[in-house]
Structure 1
Amino acid sequence: MADPHLMDGPEAVALKERERFAQILLLFGRHGLKGMASRLGLRLGGEEPFDSARPEAVVALLQDIGPAAVKFGQILAMRSDLLEPDWIDALSKLQDRVPPLPFATVRPLIEEAIGGTVESYFASFEDEAIAAGSIAQVHAATLLDGRDVIVKVRRPGIERIVDADLRLLRRVARIAERRIPEIARLKPDELLRHFAESIDREMDLGAEARASDTIGEYLKAFGVRTARFDWELSGRRVNIQERFRGLAASDLEAARQGDLDLTSLASTYAQAILHMIVINGHFHADPHPGNVFFLEDGTLALIDFGAVGTLLPRRREELVRLGLAIAAADTSGVVDILLLWAGDPDVDRVRLEEALDELINRFSNVLLEQIDLTDIFKMVFAILRDFHLALPPDLALVLRTLLTAEGFVRRIDPTFDITRELAPLAKELMRERTSPARLRGEAGKLFAALGRAALSTPSLVGQIERVARTGSITVSIAPRDLERLRGDERNSRATPQLYPAALGICAAILFASEPMIAGLLAVLSIALAIGERVKRR
């Protein structure tokens, strides 16, 4: 018997969805996960602790459910901030590979999309697919003008299947979030929202073409190529792209036997990935070796822009602030950013600062070339899990991309130091932050803040005057801020945000006896408050 939440009210499922739901229930039982299903609200048997479920059984279940579940599992595989290493290892084995459909099945789809017969547009067309996934399959072909191309065609009915399964996943996730604290910490509804946007882009084969074009323009400066698309024949269900001739980077043995400068290619790859993320803000989110080609002319190419990420300027600023805080060993500043990303949860801030302080100190005296980003990320993820802090999905994608990149360049050249590639990037960031345009923008923010402060000055002065007249001061400190004060005292560190408040109180105390000094303190308090506000932005 299914949970009534799944059957009643405005979220009642249609008949076909109920049939699909029944199939999924059977799959839970087949993989020995009845207890897990019960805890999720599906009522298949006696309840058991959620963490008793075997990761391998869950992976097999997701594989059997189908494309939506497999791709969601792949999204979870990049969330080391949420899941323990054994879950990440198991989910990372999820393969989005299925047997290709017969050409007779996909041929009508191709001809409908291109507006004519295959023979009228292609000099040759290979009936057997060279690759197949749950969303689309790929065929090699030659256009009438002699160009070798790849034809990617979406599997028939996949959009309807994924949409139905996604609705069921979100319904179950909302129930589980209410019932199970371990699930609630994962913020499943937010994860599934992000996943729905990602898979919708992946099913739009025209979006892949647009991303390849726009990001490809940026990558030209690094000598990295992306495939050109035939826009007259490409759309949401079919795209036709240039076929590269060269070696897939996944075949490193063959690459090492050839006449290729792998160290130079690794540097090019690393610079391209880092600049895409930090400077361009629009990046290839799955740059694993299978999506990288070493071309015959010795250059590098990226393919398959089905998965892309976006790093908004606001988020990039937060990453820069985080980097500066780490460089200055400002643990309090690091905690501020992490709590901002996690939605400002109620955590033991003192213990969190101590854990991060230990991590920063561990690497403070290590030579740059000896730093392994993978090790650092593992430690940071362990801290995030320990304190139940979750990263926003866009940042999780950034970190997954960085880890993929570092793992790849170290496979190419075990002595390669990706952290050294950050040096020129840091200089570029500093030039950007001190550019005239940037300074004009910051000046505009400052004047706006001054304007707001000027409007609130009468109220502030009135409060100071009232304190001086009555001789009493009312101070209100939130429990969380009191903990921060205690933590700062233990660590002998001052919190910059407290300075304006402290100066304001001093000004109020001195107003009756030393009005001029009190006035100076009040002005200084306002200036510091404005400075902190601008800095936080």
Structure 2
Amino acid sequence: MADPTPVDGPEAAALKESERFAQILVLFGRHGLKGVSARLGLGPDRDEPLDSARPEAVVALLTDIGPVAVKFGQILAMRSDLLAPEWIAALYKLQDRVPPLPFETTRPLIEDAIGGPIESFFSRFDEKAIAAGSIAQVHAATLLDGRDVIVKVRRPGIERIVDADLRILRRLARIAERRIPEIARLKPDELLRYFAESLDREMDLGAEARASNAIGAFLKDIGVRTARFDWELSGRRVNIQERLRGIPASDLEAARRSHLDLTALASTYAQAVLRMIVINGQFHADPHPGNVFFLDDGMLGLIDFGAVGTLLPKRREELVRLGLAIASQDTSGVVDILMLWAGDPDVDRFRLEEALAELIDRFSNVLLEQIDLSDIFQRVFALLREFHLTLPPDLALVLRTLLTAEGFVRRIDPQFDIARELAPLAKALMRERTRPARLRSEAGKLLAALGRAALSTPSLIGQIEKVARTGLITVSIAPKDLKRLRGDTRGSRTNPQLYPAALAICAAIVFSSEPLLAALLALLSVVLAIADWLRQR
């Protein structure tokens, strides 16, 4: 990718958005994508269909636009729920690597950030960068007290570049959503909004330090270390972190020559990833082998917390519900969660349930250690694309992280037993869900709900009085739900489990006033449930 530095000079500040927009349109034509720009209403009319765009041409376009477009392409590479395999394969080729800036350029940036000459803080500072990306580059150094460290410094003017290109990309996304139905399904503006938030965190090098510290504290008890940071010298533009010593996990041959217990290290790595996601809610979003070290003291090291994902408690609860639904082969429950995540679109629910039931049944009799997560995910992604269902961006990041982790542990240990990792995680999850603080929180939510109910009592009494006076009850049903009740939906059929459930609910409602009737309803519910069970056998 071209070095973005030249557009960061004085002339870049004067570059108007309209001029930059025109430059991007020229790039569309250069890469044979004039048909796409025409569909956006930004060029002469052409009859060229959208699906004629070649993935390789789009990748080349993103590369030429610059670092923001490249990083957005890398985000899209995670979205197998949106894009076909050939697009994912092409986007994965995007590399966020650029030539490093000369030391003469970065030195004043570092000295301004740390508050003095480099020689006042470091006994050694390697002028040649050991790695460089579009946001920052890193140098090896030694502090005056003898500690070996990594110095990460942000590129000059990158915030202005990111802000300008993000505005243009979001402008293009909004146009595409209005004019091109095939792209509207991808919700590009929502993707870019999430991407902008992630990019802002990545540009804050102090945020990386805070995330590394917090996640390291959470993982230390299972044998995982993260780099310690020099908090006095670290900030938004520069951070100074401990240089971890060990064998890079990308060099498995060296690890084997050192007679490391790779099976145990794979287990530690898997536990770390799963616990970060399911229990901690904040996780390293790019745990590829280049960011993992087998340390000299036998522990596992994680570095580079520039990409961090967050799962709110509500989302983690949804993941738990999804897991329980899959484990119990409750396809209706699985569909409920997927529809919730996709915004409850109008889809053929019966056909979707059948497809999911077939998928779950395919893996229900397979030993856990023989399950290939990547195969499962690819099949699920294909279903999501078929039914035009999309995942929220935070969950797409979770799935990408899980796939990265699964591929890595399979390389370390092809016979890796996932069941061995799930058992202790399930116990930890149960402890987390039943800890006193959580129970107090749930009790607080219940009291709040009761309070809201008490406050709404006058309105509720008014509605009851209206029903008593008029004898009428107003019922609202969404059109698609009405179709489902009528049986208009293709392939729809009545669920026999609905009747006993409905009778049980009725029994609970009338129990306090009509206990005998409630008992009869409950008995009938049990009889119908047993009859349905016998019918299925």
TM-score, normalised to structure 2, is: 0.86
C-alpha contact 1:202 1:307 (8 A) present in aligned 2: yes
C-alpha contact 2:213 2:226 (8 A) present in aligned 1: yes
Could you report, residue by residue, the CA deviation over 1:271-295 in whole angstroms, capped at 9, with x for unpaired residues?
A: 0110011111111111011100111
The alpha-carbon distance between structure 1 residues 492 and 17, as it changes in their structure 2 partners (threshold 3 A), is same
Tell me, in whole angstroms, the C-alpha distance in 1 between the residues paired with 2:291 and 2:477. Answer: 54
C-alpha contact 2:174 2:189 (8 A) present in aligned 1: yes
The alpha-carbon distance between structure 1 residues 445 and 165, as it changes in their structure 2 partners (threshold 3 A), is closer
C-alpha contact 1:71 1:96 (8 A) present in aligned 2: yes
SS at match of 1:346: coil
Tell me, in whole angstroms, the C-alpha distance in 2 between the residues paired with 1:499 and 1:67. Answer: 60
1:494 match:
498
Residue 187 of structure 2 aligns with an amino acid whose one-letter code is K
Tell me, in whole angstroms, the C-alpha distance in 2 between the residues paired with 1:497 and 1:395. Answer: 32
Residue 137 of structure 1 aligns with an amino acid whose one-letter code is Q
C-alpha contact 2:177 2:183 (8 A) present in aligned 1: yes
The alpha-carbon distance between structure 1 residues 100 and 333, as it changes in their structure 2 partners (threshold 3 A), is same
2:370 match:
370
Match runs of 1:384-423 below 5 Å? 384-423=384-423
Could you report, residue by residue, the CA deviation over 1:63-97 in whole angstroms, capped at 9, with x for unpaired residues?
A: 11110000000000101111111111111111000
State the Cα RMSD in Å.
2.9
How far 1:501 sits from its partner (Å)?
8.0
Tell me, in whole angstroms, the C-alpha distance in 2 between the residues paired with 1:128 and 1:250. Answer: 23
Matched, 1:220 2:224: no
Tell me, in whole angstroms, the C-alpha distance in 2 between the residues paired with 1:383 and 1:66. Answer: 33
1:249 match:
249
Match runs of 1:1-400 below 5 Å? 16-43=16-43, 46-400=46-400
SS at match of 1:140: strand
Residue 226 of structure 2 aligns with an amino acid whose one-letter code is T
C-alpha contact 2:467 2:473 (8 A) present in aligned 1: no
The alpha-carbon distance between structure 1 residues 69 and 436, as it changes in their structure 2 partners (threshold 3 A), is same
How far 1:518 sits from its partner (Å)?
9.7
The alpha-carbon distance between structure 1 residues 199 and 474, as it changes in their structure 2 partners (threshold 3 A), is closer
Stretches of structure 1 that go unaligned for 5 or more consecutive residues are 1-13, 508-514, 525-537
The alpha-carbon distance between structure 1 residues 502 and 358, as it changes in their structure 2 partners (threshold 3 A), is farther
SS at match of 2:48: coil
1:3 match:
none
Residue 105 of structure 1 aligns with an amino acid whose one-letter code is T
C-alpha contact 1:36 1:47 (8 A) present in aligned 2: no
Tell me, in whole angstroms, the C-alpha distance in 1 between the residues paired with 2:500 and 2:285. Answer: 37
Number of aligned residue pairs: 501
Tell me, in whole angstroms, the C-alpha distance in 1 between the residues paired with 2:460 and 2:169. Answer: 53
Matched, 1:430 2:430: yes
C-alpha contact 1:349 1:484 (8 A) present in aligned 2: no
Could you report, residue by residue, the CA deviation over 1:310-350 in whole angstroms, capped at 9, with x for unpaired residues?
A: 11111111111111111111111111111111111111111
C-alpha contact 1:406 1:418 (8 A) present in aligned 2: no
Tell me, in whole angstroms, the C-alpha distance in 1 between the residues paired with 2:151 and 2:232. Answer: 13
The alpha-carbon distance between structure 1 residues 519 and 219, as it changes in their structure 2 partners (threshold 3 A), is same
C-alpha contact 2:166 2:196 (8 A) present in aligned 1: yes
The alpha-carbon distance between structure 1 residues 247 and 230, as it changes in their structure 2 partners (threshold 3 A), is same
Tell me, in whole angstroms, the C-alpha distance in 2 between the residues paired with 1:111 and 1:452. Answer: 56
C-alpha contact 1:137 1:153 (8 A) present in aligned 2: yes
Tell me, in whole angstroms, the C-alpha distance in 2 between the residues paired with 1:346 and 1:288. Answer: 37
2:526 match:
none
The alpha-carbon distance between structure 1 residues 475 and 147, as it changes in their structure 2 partners (threshold 3 A), is closer
1:10 match:
none
C-alpha contact 2:225 2:302 (8 A) present in aligned 1: yes
The alpha-carbon distance between structure 1 residues 343 and 499, as it changes in their structure 2 partners (threshold 3 A), is farther
Residue 301 of structure 2 aligns with an amino acid whose one-letter code is A
Could you report, residue by residue, the CA deviation over 1:231-270 in whole angstroms, capped at 9, with x for unpaired residues?
A: 1111111111111111111112222222211111000000
Tell me, in whole angstroms, the C-alpha distance in 2 between the residues paired with 1:121 and 1:499. Answer: 75
SS at match of 2:236: coil
How far 1:362 sits from its partner (Å)?
1.4
The alpha-carbon distance between structure 1 residues 156 and 419, as it changes in their structure 2 partners (threshold 3 A), is farther
How far 1:39 sits from its partner (Å)?
1.5
C-alpha contact 1:488 1:494 (8 A) present in aligned 2: no
Worse-superposed segment, 479-488 or 327-336: 479-488
The alpha-carbon distance between structure 1 residues 213 and 475, as it changes in their structure 2 partners (threshold 3 A), is closer
1:527 match:
none
Tell me, in whole angstroms, the C-alpha distance in 1 between the residues paired with 2:503 and 2:469. Answer: 21
C-alpha contact 2:507 2:517 (8 A) present in aligned 1: no
Tell me, in whole angstroms, the C-alpha distance in 2 between the residues paired with 1:359 and 1:219. Answer: 34
The alpha-carbon distance between structure 1 residues 184 and 85, as it changes in their structure 2 partners (threshold 3 A), is same
Tell me, in whole angstroms, the C-alpha distance in 2 between the residues paired with 1:405 and 1:346. Answer: 34
How far 1:373 sits from its partner (Å)?
1.1
How far 1:17 sits from its partner (Å)?
1.4
Tell me, in whole angstroms, the C-alpha distance in 2 between the residues paired with 1:495 and 1:80. Answer: 39
How far 1:369 sits from its partner (Å)?
1.3
SS at match of 1:233: coil
Tell me, in whole angstroms, the C-alpha distance in 2 between the residues paired with 1:119 and 1:50. Answer: 57
Residue 86 of structure 2 aligns with an amino acid whose one-letter code is D
Residue 212 of structure 1 aligns with an amino acid whose one-letter code is S
TM-score, normalised to structure 1, is: 0.86
C-alpha contact 1:224 1:301 (8 A) present in aligned 2: yes
Residue 336 of structure 2 aligns with an amino acid whose one-letter code is D
